[in-house]
Structure 1
Amino acid sequence: MASINPYLIFNGNCEEAFLFYQSVFGGAFPYVGKFKDMPPAEGNPVFSEAEGNKIMHVTLPIGDGSILMGSDSNSASGEIAFGENISLSINAQSKVEADKLFNGLSAGGKVTMPMNDTFWGAYFGMFADKFGINWMVNFDENEK
């Protein structure tokens, strides 16, 4: 069965926020990626040095199986308004489950990134459901 974790989006202070959360919850960051780490590819924006140093993705395990995840917004995504800065991230156990969840939950909503293989090795997509809730669906075969 899939697991659901909160995904927080910041307007430039993600690193500061996650260092604070780490000071409270403890633990280590298994992954911290910056926008400058993205490989050049068609459709990927070119970031300034300042934007390149912003957090593209960070994870902080909390407790028994929960993971707090986050990133900064960038010029391609625009500034994020309070209330729109959180998504629910579903970690599926297979591509079939990921597609089922993505297609079911996105019905009547707005897809912002269709399910696709990514440069970081996951099968991933994003959307807002018909109620305006932001979702991310992820399947990472390497996490099995």
Structure 2
Amino acid sequence: MAVSSVRPYLLFGGRCDEALQFYQRALGARIGLVMRFSESPDPVPAGMLAPGFEKKVMHCELHIGEHLVMASDGPNDKARSSGVSLALTVGSEAEVDRLFSALIAGGQVEMPPGPTFWTRRFAMGTDRFGIGWMVMVAGEPPAR
């Protein structure tokens, strides 16, 4: 059996609605389907959800460019994505700076925008939701 696709599935520990709005503003992302735990066609298993999570996001779709990212609040405020970064490839150095600045507002810069041996401009950091981002310009690396 061949794998037909791989899609990131992010967990926000109760902040998914806030994250969706943030990515909509920062990236121009489009919010698709949003389903809350209270809207599940099947009952949520007893004891699975933390108190107050009934109205939280069970599943949603976020379209970034041509790509689909899925997300959820998870069952409690401890559910978080870690150990993974999302990489964005953009068309210009100015776009690297613009998107990185928007994504990292309230987060942490790990590598500020600058040239590398593999691309003319690259930046890396973690946003306010704990999601890692790498933003780079498409095309040939700089001449060495």
TM-score by length of 1: 0.47
**Could you say which structure has the higher helix fraction?**
1
Greater C-alpha radius of gyration = 2
